[in-house]
Structures are given as structure tokens and as C-alpha cells.
Structure 1
């Protein structure tokens, strides 16, 4: 049978369709291809119009392939796999690289300030940082390493603990004049401070100000006011700017405490419900991934080479 290229769908439309089928979501497909959700939706609609058949059953929860969609997905996935293999064979050698997934707060406060140290050690390795607050699937999202904040019992087999969680109240140096001579936190000081609260869609009871203040004989209602943030790095940025008092995650702000960008008002308290773990994907043994893993463990105080 002769191949009539004019009858074949657009490659971009097929890419959007395959990504949507793979992720069962137009939104996630758009994130994978660096396109908007609406752009992926339009690509799939154009493909359905050209073929004259529905490819997805759409619902408010997720996408599901129709029988026609299943046929096209199997064929398109096999075709793209063949194309990828051919490109790999003829393309110029690529620089080694890896993809690291972590939360927005961990990326902004801990990882990004240190990435230049890794590049000094390994300038030949490219690093792609994917920062978002959902727990990614290392296989589906094609991620090599993921740093996950979870309960010890929820850490997958083979993950490596980076450090435990601990919290302490912190302010920026501009608010130092408000502190009592002891430098700690009392009712009079709290009455002059705005509470900087971190809240997102996940239940984090250890970030509740009342729970934290009660052992000190204080109450959140004594504070001057309250500002609420859904990204943790924003909360810490506000504290450094002198806008109020935040509950600092000690492992993430250790350098800010050491150089005076943040001032501690009480000792850190451990949070046994949570810790930071490193998860490794299928390419963990590749040299670039192994080099980043070794560097990361050394940055967190783990012995070099400990896996």
C-alpha cells in the first residue's frame, strides 16, 4: 500500500494527542509539552474533526480513550518510538543531563542556591529542575530524581533520607528592635508582630500557629495580624523583608540563620511526622544521575557515595 502523506494528521496534533492519552489530562499534557491546556484541547479537537471519530471520553475527573482512540494511541506511540530511535542514531551526541523534581519551597530555599556548586563540579552535565507541589510519578513524568516531603512510613523502598523536619519561629533583622532583652518571644513581642502563615491544599497541622504557640503560653490571637501564603518560599521571603514572624523549616533556612538574614526566636522543634527523602527513577545508574545523587547526599551531610 502506498503512503499518502497528505492524508496523515499533523505531527503536532498527534504529539498533543499522545501526551493527553499518556497523562489522562489535557493540563498535564500541556505541562509536558510546554503548551497551554487549551492548546492541547484544540489539537485533539482538530484531530478528531479530521478523523471523524471521537478519541476521548471526557468527564470532570479525567480523560479516557475511546476504542478509536486506543487504536490511534497504540499506533502513534509505536511510530513515535521508532522516530525517537532513528533520531537517537543519527543526531549529534547530546550532553549528559537529568531531570530533578521537587517542591517549589525546597527548590527556592535550598536547591537553587546550591546548583552552582554542582555545576562547578560537573560543568558537562545539564540539570533540568521541575518545581511543583504535586507528588510526581517518576515513570509517567520522566523524572530521574525526586525530592519528596512525606511521613517516614510513606517513603518508598529504596529512597534515601536527606534530613528530618524541624520548625522554629523566625523574623528578619529589621524587626530586631521589637525583641525583649532575652531575644525570645513573649506576649508583648507577639502583640507587635504579624503572623506569616503557610497553608496549602495539603493538611500540615504542624504549621498551625496556635499549636506552636500554646506550649509557650501564647495564643495566635495575641498577634498584631495575619498574612497567609500558599507557597512556603513566599512566607520566608516576607519574614526576611521584615513583614512578620514565620515558622521556619530549619533544614531549609539554615544558611539564612547562620548569616543573619533570619533571627530565631525559640529553639527548633522536631516534626516526627515529616522528613525529606530522595527518590530515584529507572536511570539512577546513569553517570549523570549518579553524580548528582552523590553530590546531593554530600550537600545534606551524608557520606560521599552513600546510597
Structure 2
């Protein structure tokens, strides 16, 4: 005997997806004719579908003024929700096509911080693509590795967490080495920053801990100077300003614009120093020997050729010999 299935009230309350699709196109282009062209249908079909949706919802979604249309308040509310839903569906479909299709191209999803992607990954990736032209890379950046959107399951994480989530194998990488950085021009204009006492009086561009609670430790100017037995708060009242931001990419750009001195994480800023764009005004540094960065890859893909190719390339970039 077949088990009776009760009506699904959520699905029954859903409007026609075809009607919603026509509505989203009309709202996006604010014109029924352009919406019809975008969906390869007639303008009459768009009008009919929008009328059907308005009838279903019991309220107008557009104010019509000649050929142009504009959203009503109800239309704006529905458009925000509908557009986001379609984006999520499209992205999920793309991920499924990439992960489960039988096409010859391969793909890999990598997750790391925005600073790591911009300052470490970006200028090294050409060598990976040159060696692996049949691999497409999907890069996801976040500061919140422990709470990501549902459905985002990266093949590889680069984090400072030895255990980013269950089901992943973690390989230790390098320690953090942290030292002051500025441009040659800024150092020429402020020669006093070549000493720690003089450095303390400079424009200090500081990486704020805000939004970085998942990092095991946070080194800002206060911590860095304290390790070298200096108090950053004991600055001259006539000294330069102190700037806080939790966007490291922004701080680096300010440094490159000769706007002050920031702390540089060696693995991120070393290429800029080697290129002569940045210098170390003092040679003092802090090495965090108790913590490391980690490459974590999905345990169920331990034998996946694409993951292994990326892992070996990445470790080689870090001058770490991969363990078979």
C-alpha cells in the first residue's frame, strides 16, 4: 500500500517560476521589451507572465509609464528576494556542472583570506595555470572560515587553523615573520624611523583585530612594539597620527602610496621588498614560532589528481618538499 503524502504547503504557495523569471528580467532592465530580448521571448509573453504574478500576489509590482516601468514598494521587496534566489540557484548549478560533469576540464575550489589571495596568490597563479592549462580554479575569500555559506565546500583551505573543519587533512606550512615596512621615499623623507624610538613617532598604519577573532593571535603595533620593550601609547603629542583598519590590502596600498609605516607579514610583502617597492626601515622582527599557516585539503579527495597537483605546486611555492 502506497503511503499518502500530504500536500507540501510551501511548494503550493510558490508562484510560477516562469512568471518570476520574467518579472526579474523586467525589473532588472526596467523595460518589458528589453526583458523579452534578454530571455528570447516576446514582449507579450513578458507582460502576460508579470500580470499572472501580480494576480497571484494580489498587488501591482510595477508602475507603468509608457515603455518604461519602475518597481512599486511591493515589487522592490519581491525583486530583492527573487533575484538573490536565482543567483543562488545559478551558482549551485555551476558548481554541480563543474564538479559532476564528464567534461575533460577539471576544477578546484580554493578558500583563503582576501590578503593572502591578493598579495600571495595573485602573482604566483600564472605559473600554476601554465603548468595546468586544463584546470579551472574557483577562489573564495573570507575572514570567517568557520562559518561559511551552505554548499561551499572548498577542496583546499589556506588558513592559520590547524583544524578548519572535519573531513580535512592539514599540512603545516610556515611561521609568521612580522616586521615594519614603508616605501624608500617615505624612509628618505623620515630618516628618523630607522630606529625603533623614531619609528614609534611615525604615521603608524595598524591592522585592527576587528573581525579577526578566529586568528589564534593578533599582532598589531601595540603588541609588536611591546615585544621590543616599547609602549606605542607613549607617543609625542606632536607626533603623527595613528590609523586603524581591518583591511590589510588597504593598509598595504597606503604604504605603497608613502602614507606611513605598516607591519608586513613576510610571506605577503616579500615580493614587494624584492622588487624594491618597499623597504624595512629597521631590521627588528617578530617570529611567531608557536603557530603556523596550514594547507588543508578534503580527506575524500586525498587521491584526486587535481587536488594533488595543486598541493604539490603550492608546497613548491613555499619551498616545502611534498611528502608522498
TM-score, with length taken from structure 1: 0.65
Structure 1 alignment gaps of length 5 or more: 1-6, 14-36, 47-79
Tell me the equivalent position of 1:209. 221
Shift of the alpha carbon at 1:124? 1.5
User: Number of aligned pairs?
Assistant: 237
User: Helix, strand or coil for the counterpart of 1:113?
Assistant: coil
| Mapped contact 1:138–1:144 kept (Cα < 8 A) | no
Partner residue in 1 for 2:39 = none
Unaligned runs of 5+ in 2: 1-13, 21-76, 87-91
Q: CA RMSD in A?
A: 3.7
Counterpart in the other structure of 1:259: 275
The CA distance in 2 between the partners of 1:266 and 1:174, in whole Å, is 18
After superposition, the Cα gap between the structure-2 partners of 1:263 and 1:42, relative to the gap in structure 1 and judged at 3 Å, is same
User: Normalising by structure 2, what TM-score?
Assistant: 0.62
CA shift in 2, pair 1:95/1:138, >3 Å: farther
State whether residues 101 and 143 of structure 1, in contact with CA within 8 Å, keep that contact through their aligned partners in structure 2. yes
After superposition, the Cα gap between the structure-2 partners of 1:244 and 1:41, relative to the gap in structure 1 and judged at 3 Å, is same
Correspondent of 1:290 among 288, 308, 311:
308
Give the direction of change, closer, same or farther, for the CA distance of 1:39–1:278 in structure 2 (3 Å limit).
Answer: farther
What whole-Å deviation, never above 9, does each CA across 1:261-284 have from its counterpart, x for those lacking one? 221123321124532111112334
Question: Aligned-pair distance for 1:88?
Answer: 5.9
Contact 1:297 1:306 in 2 (8 A): no
Structure-1 separation of matches of 2:293 and 2:145? 13
Change (3 A) 1:11 1:149: farther
CA distance in 1, matches of 2:85, 2:307: 38
Give structure 1 regions of 4+ aligned residues with deviation exceeding 4 angstroms. Answer: 37-40, 43-46, 136-139, 152-157
Is 1:123–2:155 an aligned residue pair? no
> Which residue does the alignment assign to 2:288?
271
**Are the aligned partners of 2:255 and 2:261 in contact in 1 as well (CA < 8 Å)?**
yes
